[in-house]
Structure 1
Amino acid sequence: MQKKIIKVQEEDNVAIALIDLVKGDRCEYNGEEIIILSNTKAKHKIAFVDLAINDSIYMYGVLVGKTVVSIAKGDLLTTENVKHQSDKVVAKTKNIVWNAPNISNWKDRTFMGYHRADGQVGTQNVWLFFPLVFCENRNIEVLKEVFEKELSMGKERKQRQLLRNLINGNDVDFNDGKQQVSEQTFDNVDVKFITHQGGCGGIRQDSHTLAKLLAGYVKNPNVAGATVLSLGCQNLQIDIFKDALNSIDSNLDKPVLIYEQQQMGTVDDMLNIIIKDSFAGIKAANSIERKPAPISKLKMGLECGGSDGFSGISANPALGYASDFLAAVGGSPILSEFPELCGVEQELVNRCVEDGDAERFMFLMKAYEASAEAAGSGFDMNPSPGNIKDGLITDAMKSAGAAKKGGTSPIEAILDYGEYVTKPGLNLLCTPGNDVESTTGMVGSGANIVVFTTGLGTPTGNPIAPVLKVSSNSILAEHMPDIIDIDTGAVIRGEKTIQEMGEEILEYVIQVASGEKKAKADILGQDDFIPWKRGVSL
C-alpha cells in the first residue's frame, strides 16, 4: 500500500502529502497516527506536531519558515499561516567528510563524444552563429532562414505542413505524429543560431559580461566553430570579445569568423561573404567524428524549473545522486540558481574544500540578495505562483529541495557568472533562478549537457547543449510526454529508491551524450538563450 505522508528527515516537524487527503483521513508514519484537519492536496505540507505562533518550521533538516499563527497537528501549511524564515549563514564551521558512492560500475564508463584540441569533449558538434549586438539580429535571422532551408536541418514542422494543406484546400489531421523528413546535407554537424538584446545601450559592465558569456559558448566543447557578426559602433566591441576569448583560452584552436558590417558595405555583399566562409567551416566540422571518452569529460549542468512539492523528494535528490557519481569519477557537475540556495548556505559553505571559496560564496550571495532588495524585491519573493500552488510556500522550503540537485559531494570551486569551469568535482555558479538565464549561464561556463528537473513541465532547451527534462511525478510525464525525458514518479510510489533512480539518470545522460538518444528539447527545436543582465539600461 502506498504511503499517504512522508517526512524527509526525522528531525522535521512537517510532513508531505503523497496523495490527496481529505479532512478526517487517518495517516500513519513510523507508528505515529495523524488525523488530517483540512483537505490537503498531494505535494502540500501538514504539521506533524502542534505549532505555536512564531514556532520554527523544519524540513530537509533545515529551517524553512516560521508560523504566523498557531497550527494544529495534522493541519495544512499555507502562505497565510507561514512566512519565510531561514538560518543566517556564518563563516565555515566545519569540514565535511564525504562518503562517496561506490563507483566500481562507473569509473571505466565512456561516452562517444567529439574530441577538441584543448582536451575537452563535446556531446554535440555545432557550428554557431551569433551577434555581438542586437542590431545584427536581423542578419542572423536571414542566415538562419538560408542555412536551415538549404541544409534541411531537421524535420519540417507539422504546423507548416498543416498550413500548406489548408492553403491548398486539404483538411489533414497531423495528430498521428508523422512528419515529413527532409534529406539533410550534413550528418555530423548541427548549425545553430543565437540572437539576444544586448551588446549596447546598457552599462559597460553588461557588455563585458555578455562578451564573457559568448566567449564561453565558443569555448564550450559542443561547439566546433563560430560565425560572429558585429555592427561596429556598439559597446561590445570586437576587441572586447577577443579579450574575453583570450582570457578563457589564449590558445583557442577553433575557427572563429568575425565580420563587422560597417566595414563591409551592403548587406547583400556582407551576407554573401559570410555564407561562403561559413559553409566552408561547416563542411570541415562535418568531418569530425565521435570517439570514446571517459565520462569524467562530462560537465553536467544541474537545473530545476516549474518545481512542485515532490521535486525535493524525487527528481532533485535522484539527480543529486547522479551528480555525486559524476563528481566521484572526476566529472564536473554544476549547481547554479543562487536565489534558490537561500536557507542552505551554511551547509554549502561547510562543503567548500577551500576556505577562500567559502568566503567567496558568502560574498556573492550577500551581494546578489542586496541588489535584489535594492530593486524592491528579495530572495523571499522567489517562489512563483506555480511553486506555491504545488506546495512550495516559502523560498527556504523551495531552496532546501532545489539544493538536493547538488548531492552531497565537496564543492571544488565557486564561480561568478561568465567564469569557466576548470576543476573536476562540484562547481557552484552564480546565476539567477530564472530557468533560461540559469541554463544559458551554465552552458556558457562549459556545461556540455544539462539535466533539468521539473514538477509542472518546462519546455526549455539550449542551442548547443542537450537539456534533459526529469519529471518529479508520473502524472506530468504522462501529460507532457513530448517534453519529459525521464520520469522519477516511481520514487514517490515507493517502487524505486533514490539511488536506483540516480543511476538511471546517469545512464540516460551517457546515452544522450553519445548521440544514441536525443533530448526531447532538441526534438522540439527548443533553442533558448537569455543572458543575465545585471545592470540598468542607459
Structure 2
Amino acid sequence: MERFFKIHPKDNVVVALTDLNKNDKVTVDGKELELAADVPVKHKFTLVPMKEGDTVYMYGVPVGKVVVSLSAGSMLTTENTRHVAAPYQIGRQEYKYEQPAVDKFATRTFQGFHRKDGQVGTGNYWLFVPLVFCQNRNLKVLQEALETGLGFRKENPYKLLVRELAGKFRGTDREAENIIETPKIFPNIDGIKFLVHEGGCGGTRQDAQLLVNLLAGYIRHPNVAGATVLSLGCQHAQMSMLEEALGRGGEELGKPLLFFEQQKYPSEHVMLEEIIQATFDGLKEANKNSRQPASLSKLTLGLECGGSDGFSGISANPLIGVVTDRINALKGKSILSEFPELCGVEQDLIDRCVRREAAEKFVRLMENYEARAHEVGSGFDMNPSPGNIRDGLITDAIKSAGAATKGGRSPVADVLDYGEYTTKEGLSLLCTPGNDVESTTGLAGSGANIILFSTGLGTPTGNPICPVVKISSNSMLPRKMKDIIDFDAGRLFSGGLSQEVLADELIELIIAVASGEKQTCAQKLQQDDFIPWKRGISL
C-alpha cells in the first residue's frame, strides 16, 4: 500500500495514507524529504518549506494559508493553518468537457414504478404530509394504526426484550411471547411514511412557503404513489399554497391526493376515521402499480457527504463523481448539495455552468447564504466539525474541494434553491446547508430518487422515501459499523481496486437498490430522517 497520496500536480501538500513518523523519509515527485513531525493517517504534510502567509494548495486550488513558517515535511494543523478560499468571477472562461464512455450500461435498465408525468420511482410509498406541527399527534395515531395493521412495520425487537426483562423482574422468569406479525396486504406498496416536522406556523411567511415548496416536492416525487395531507386550517402554511405549488391541486400527477382540514370537522375522531377509510381506498389504487423496466436515464442521483474524513475527498467522493458523470452521460440527472461545502471551488462550478443565468443564481445564493452566516457571527470557515478536523479536514476549503468531487466534471445544467424541483438533464446544484439531514431532506424534495452518501466516520442517516446508499471512504469503517455501510470505496487503497472497477460495482448496486432487489442499510434500520431547513442559519 502507498504511504501517501498527491491529488493534483499543483499541490504543495499530500495526504498520509498510513501513520507516518517523524524522521521518516518519503520520496514525492522524485524528491526525498524527511518528515518534521509525526503525521497521522488522513492528515496532510508539506512538500516544500513555507513561510508565514504562503498559500496551501490541494486539488490544484487554494485551501488555506500558513500562519507560521513551516519546514518541508511538517503536518498541517488548525494551529498553523487558516482557511482561505480563491476569489471568483462570472464569465472567466469557456468550459470544455468530454463525456465518459458508457457503452456497457447504455442498454441496462432498472425495475421502477412509472408515473403519469414521465418520472420513474425506485420505490412506491404512500405519504402522510402535515402542513403544520400541531398535526403531529394525529400522525402518530395514524402511524400506529396503519403501519402495524397493514403489515408495513415489523415488531420492535426492543419491545420483546423489555417484556422479557419485565417478566424476570416479576419473578415469572419467562421469555417474551412470540408476536405474530400482520402480513403485508398491499405487496406493491413499499411503505407508509409520515413527514413529521415542527414548522408551518409561528415562523416567518417565507419559512412557511419554503416548507410548502418542499412538501410539494415530496408529493410530486416519483417514489410517492399517493399522499394524505393534514391541515389545522389557521396556520401560515395554507392548503391553498400547497395546491398552488403542485399546480391545480396536483391533478396532472395522476396519483391519489387526499386533503383534510381539522377545523372543518366536528371532532378529531370523525376526521381520523374518514382519513383511514379514504387512505385505505387510495392504497388499493396505488397497489395496482407494479415495477416495470426503465432506462437508467430515469435515475436522479442525490449527492451527499457526512461524517467526512481525510479520505472522503480522495476515495468515496471522487468515485461518486465518476458514477455521476456516467449517469449524466446516459441522460440521467444528478443533484449536488451543501453550499457551505462548495466554498473555494466556486470558480470551477461557475465555469461549468451552461447558462450565464445559472452562474449568476449560484453566486447570488452563495453570497446571500454566507452573508446571513456572518450576520450571526459565523461563516463558512466554521463549517468543519470536530470529527472532520480530528480526521484531517482542518479548513472548510479542504473539506469543500473534496466534497465537490461528488459532482464529477459534468457541466452544470441548473442551479436550484431549497425546495425547487429538478427538471433539467445533467448536473444541478442545490442550495442546502451542510447539515446532513436538512440536506438529504432537500435532495429528496428536489426529486432525487436515490441518494449516494459518502462517509468516513459513519452516520446512520436515511430518508423516508428515497433510498440512501452509504459509501465509506476507508475500509476500516465497514468493519467497525457494518450495519450502516453499503459500499466500501476504501478498497481503492486497501484492496488495490481501480476506480473504474469500483464505479462498475457501485452502478450495479444502484441498479439493484433502484429495482427493489436490495435494501440499503438505512432502509433496514428504518432510518426515516426528515428535517426541513428554515432560512435561519444552519451550517
Q: Do the two structures share a fold, i.e. TM-score over 0.5?
A: yes
Amino acid at match of 1:526: Q
**Does 1:131 pair with 2:146?**
no
**Does 1:222 pair with 2:223?**
yes
Amino acid at match of 2:7: V
User: For residues 221-280 of structure 1, what are the alpha-carbon distances to aligned partners after superposition, in whole Å with 9 as ceiling and x for unaligned?
Assistant: 000000011001101111111111118967232211110111112111111110111011
Distance 1:172 1:491 in 2: 47
| 5+ long unaligned stretches in structure 1 | none
Distance 2:140 2:153 in 1: 17
The within-5 A match list for 1:435-450 is: 435-450=436-451
SS at the partner of 1:112?
Answer: strand
Aligned residue for 1:509?
510
Distance 2:218 2:468 in 1: 15
The within-5 A match list for 1:63-212 is: 63-169=62-168, 183-189=183-189, 190-212=191-213
Contact residue 230 and residue 259 of structure 2 kept, 8 A: yes
Contact residue 92 and residue 346 of structure 1 kept, 8 A: no
Aligned residue for 1:524?
525
- Note the C-alpha offset of 1:493: 2.7
Distance 1:494 1:476 in 2: 14
Distance 2:349 2:185 in 1: 48
Contact residue 100 and residue 324 of structure 1 kept, 8 A: yes
Q: 1:45 to 1:141 in 2, by over 3 A?
A: same
Aligned residue for 1:368?
369
SS at the partner of 2:69?
Answer: coil
Distance 1:171 1:91 in 2: 72
Aligned residue for 1:413?
414
The within-5 A match list for 1:413-432 is: 413-432=414-433
User: For residues 435-457 of structure 1, what are the alpha-carbon distances to aligned partners after superposition, in whole Å with 9 as ceiling and x for unaligned?
Assistant: 00010001001111101000000
Aligned residue for 1:6?
5
Amino acid at match of 1:448: N
Distance 1:198 1:7 in 2: 46
Contact residue 246 and residue 252 of structure 1 kept, 8 A: no
User: For residues 121-173 of structure 1, what are the alpha-carbon distances to aligned partners after superposition, in whole Å with 9 as ceiling and x for unaligned?
Assistant: 00000000120000100000110111112112143232122112222225879
User: For residues 481-508 of structure 1, what are the alpha-carbon distances to aligned partners after superposition, in whole Å with 9 as ceiling and x for unaligned?
Assistant: 1000000111123611222222221221
Q: 1:211 to 1:229 in 2, by over 3 A?
A: same
Contact residue 157 and residue 179 of structure 1 kept, 8 A: no
Distance 1:250 1:396 in 2: 45
The within-5 A match list for 1:264-303 is: 264-303=265-304
Amino acid at match of 1:56: T
Amino acid at match of 2:232: L
User: For residues 381-431 of structure 1, what are the alpha-carbon distances to aligned partners after superposition, in whole Å with 9 as ceiling and x for unaligned?
Assistant: 100111000000000000000000000011111111111110110011111
Distance 1:250 1:411 in 2: 31
Amino acid at match of 1:479: K
Distance 1:285 1:85 in 2: 52
SS at the partner of 2:303?
Answer: strand
Amino acid at match of 1:117: K
Amino acid at match of 1:325: R
Distance 1:171 1:496 in 2: 51
- Note the C-alpha offset of 1:376: 1.1
SS at the partner of 2:402?
Answer: helix
Distance 2:249 2:419 in 1: 10
Amino acid at match of 2:416: L
- Note the C-alpha offset of 1:4: 0.7
Aligned residue for 2:35?
36
Q: 1:172 to 1:396 in 2, by over 3 A?
A: farther
Amino acid at match of 2:360: E
Distance 2:63 2:501 in 1: 28
How well do the aligned residues superpose, as a CA RMSD in angstroms?
A: 1.7
TM (normalized to structure 2)? Answer: 0.96
Amino acid at match of 1:8: I
SS at the partner of 1:262?
Answer: helix
Q: 1:31 to 1:172 in 2, by over 3 A?
A: farther
Q: 1:418 to 1:247 in 2, by over 3 A?
A: farther
Contact residue 243 and residue 250 of structure 2 kept, 8 A: no
Q: 1:467 to 1:181 in 2, by over 3 A?
A: farther
Aligned length: 531
Identity %: 54
Q: 1:249 to 1:368 in 2, by over 3 A?
A: farther
Distance 1:414 1:172 in 2: 57
**Does 1:463 pair with 2:467?**
no
Contact residue 115 and residue 253 of structure 2 kept, 8 A: no
- Note the C-alpha offset of 1:181: 6.3
Distance 1:503 1:48 in 2: 34
SS at the partner of 1:105?
Answer: helix
TM (normalized to structure 1)? Answer: 0.96
Amino acid at match of 1:162: L
The within-5 A match list for 1:243-258 is: 243-246=244-247, 251-258=252-259
